[in-house]
């Protein structure tokens, strides 16, 4: 007798955006827009009309700190009619040497999807290879795909369709920058990256992007990257796990987004930041609190975007 649920298709993992085609990504972003519009004026805990996660549980494992990802996934699952179990990796047997593959096999028998925030991207890939339920990348050293959907949602709310527009990334060519590179081809936007050579994006990401037809330029001068852009995007100069703090602060200092830099962007350009922000480092108070900043919409959109991602993982959205 076998009482375990049988999986007939490969699970829909949400780990690397470059693996997803343009139609799938567009459907997820459209669903995020629709889900946000459908619940205007509702209390945060009210369940969506379609409740696509009814009877489903999401496990979340954190190897690193989190505010937005943790709260937004929890709120998202509640709004979709499902439930969550949250754990810190160091509290699990993972912290005492149980393998990631065995952990994946066990959790696949207990929950319907797993979100992991991992130190190493390989941990996510190893977990997904052994899991029989969808695995979602809640940030790794290499990428942050959930944030990317929320960012594009905020951009489109304020500036209209992203296709054909120019986005300027300023600062460290880090995991967030990688996620923008990963979808530039599918969403059809131009990406200009301003960074010092020491902190340029991964060559593998750039090479894959070029093969996919992504329009990506690298500049050393932030003013050149920002000139006429429809969005200016910054992130911390010191990501979780980075150790060369002093070197980063010194090398990245010319890449601060201030009012002068913003003035080179297109009229109506928005400022994006995934948060947490380090005011006075990568961005000034005047910009992040100014009229072009849409960072609070961006943060709220983590809930709406993740609902669309979860619904896709559970079999919806094309």
Residues that bind ligand NVA (CB under 6 A): 139, 174-176, 235-236, 239-240, 274
What are 68's strand-pairing partners?
Answer: none
- Using CB under 6 A, which residues numbered 89 to 148 contact ligand CP? 139, 147
Whole-number Å distance between alpha carbons of 78 and 73: 9
Could you tell me which residues come within 8 angstroms of residue 69 by beta carbon, excluding any fewer than 6 positions away?
Answer: 115, 117, 138, 139, 146, 302
Which of ligand CP, ligand NVA, none binds 166 (CB below 5-8 Å, type-dependent)? none
Which of ligand NVA, ligand CP, none binds 67 (CB below 5-8 Å, type-dependent)? ligand CP
Whole-number Å distance between alpha carbons of 86 and 76: 14
Catalytic residue among 68, 144, 248, 273: 144
Give the nearest distance from C-beta 279 to ligand CP in angstroms. Answer: 15
Q: Which is nearer to ligand NVA, 111 or 232 (CB)?
A: 232
Whole-number Å distance between alpha carbons of 5 and 129: 18
**What are the angstrom distances between the C-alpha of 205 and each of 76, 178, 200?**
30, 7, 11
Whole-number Å distance between alpha carbons of 80 and 71: 14
Give the nearest distance from C-beta 139 to ligand NVA in angstroms. Answer: 6
Catalytic residue among 26, 117, 248, 304: 117
Kindly state the helix (H) or strand (E) to which residue 210 belongs, with its residue range.
helix 203-212
Catalytic (active site) residue 147: yes
Q: Which is nearer to ligand CP, 106 or 275 (CB)?
A: 275
Whole-number Å distance between alpha carbons of 65 and 280: 22
Q: Rule CB under 6 A: is residue 68 a binding residue for ligand CP? A: yes
Q: Quickly count: other Cβ atoms within 10 Å of residue 125's Cβ.
A: 18
Which of ligand CP, ligand NVA, none binds 176 (CB below 5-8 Å, type-dependent)? ligand NVA
Give the nearest distance from C-beta 48 to ligand NVA in angstroms. Answer: 26
Rg (CA), the chain: 19
Q: Which is nearer to ligand CP, 111 or 139 (CB)?
A: 139
- Using CB under 6 A, which residues numbered 269 to 298 contact ligand CP? 274-275
- How many positions of this chain bind ligand CP (CB under 6 A)? 8
Task: Please tell me whether residue 59 adopts helix, strand or coil conformation.
Answer: strand
Tokens of 18: 């470059």
Catalytic residue among 68, 235, 256, 313: 235
Catalytic (active site) residue 177: no
Give the nearest distance from C-beta 39 to ligand NVA in angstroms. Answer: 25
Query: Tokens 């190897």 correspond to what residue?
Result: 63
> Binding mask 236-275 vs ligand CP (x if CB under 6 A, - otherwise)?
--------------------------------------xx
Which of ligand CP, ligand NVA, none binds 99 (CB below 5-8 Å, type-dependent)? none
What are 58's strand-pairing partners?
Answer: 84, 113
Inter-residue contact 139 to 147 (CB < 8 Å)? yes
Catalytic (active site) residue 144: yes
- Identified binder of ligand CP from the candidate list 20, 69, 103, 145, rule CB under 6 A: 69
Catalytic residue among 121, 274, 306, 313: 274
Q: Of 61, 80, 142, which Cα lies nearest the Cα of 312?
A: 80
Catalytic residue among 79, 147, 153, 292: 147
Sheet of 190-194: strand order equals 215-219, 190-194, 166-170, 231-234, 270-273
Catalytic (active site) residue 235: yes
Give the nearest distance from C-beta 62 to ligand CP in angstroms. Answer: 9
Give the nearest distance from C-beta 171 to ligand CP in angstroms. Answer: 15
Instruction: Supply the residues annotated as catalytic.
Output: 117, 144, 147, 235, 274, 302
């Amino acid at each position: 007798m076998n009482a375990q649920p049988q999986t007939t298709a490969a699970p829909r993992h949400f780990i690397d955006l470059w693996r997803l085609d343009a139609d799938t990504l567009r459907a997820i972003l459209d669903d995020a827009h629709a889900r946000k519009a459908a619940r205007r004026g509702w209390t945060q805990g009210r369940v969506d009309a379609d409740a696509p996660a009814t009877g489903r549980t999401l496990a979340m494992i954190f190897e690193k700190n989190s505010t937005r990802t943790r709260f937004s996934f929890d709120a998202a699952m509640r709004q979709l009619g499902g439930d969550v179990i949250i754990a810190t990796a160091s509290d699990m047997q993972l912290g005492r040497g149980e393998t990631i593959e065995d952990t994946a096999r066990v959790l696949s028998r207990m929950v319907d999807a797993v979100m992991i925030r991992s130190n190493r991207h390989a941990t996510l890939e190893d977990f997904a290879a052994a899991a029989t339920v969808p695995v979602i990348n809640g940030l790794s050293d290499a990428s942050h795909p959930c944030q990317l959907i929320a960012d594009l949602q905020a951009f489109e709310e304020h500036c209209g369709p992203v296709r054909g527009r120019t986005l300027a990334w300023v600062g460290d060519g880090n995991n967030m920058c990688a996620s923008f590179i990963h979808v530039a081809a599918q969403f059809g936007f131009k990406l200009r990256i301003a960074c010092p050579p020491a902190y340029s994006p991964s060559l593998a990401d750039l090479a894959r992007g070029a093969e996919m037809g992504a329009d990506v330029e690298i500049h050393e001068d932030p003013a050149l990257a920002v000139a006429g852009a429809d969005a200016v995007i910054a992130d911390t100069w010191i990501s979780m796990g980075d150790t060369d703090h002093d070197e980063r602060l010194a090398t990245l200092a010319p890449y601060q987004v201030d009012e002068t830099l913003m003035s080179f962007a297109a009229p109506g350009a928005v400022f994006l930041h995934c948060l947490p922000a380090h005011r006075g480092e990568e961005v000034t108070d005047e910009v992040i609190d100014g009229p072009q900043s849409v960072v609070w919409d961006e943060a709220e959109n983590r809930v709406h975007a993740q609902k669309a991602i979860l619904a896709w993982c559970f079999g919806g959205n094309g």
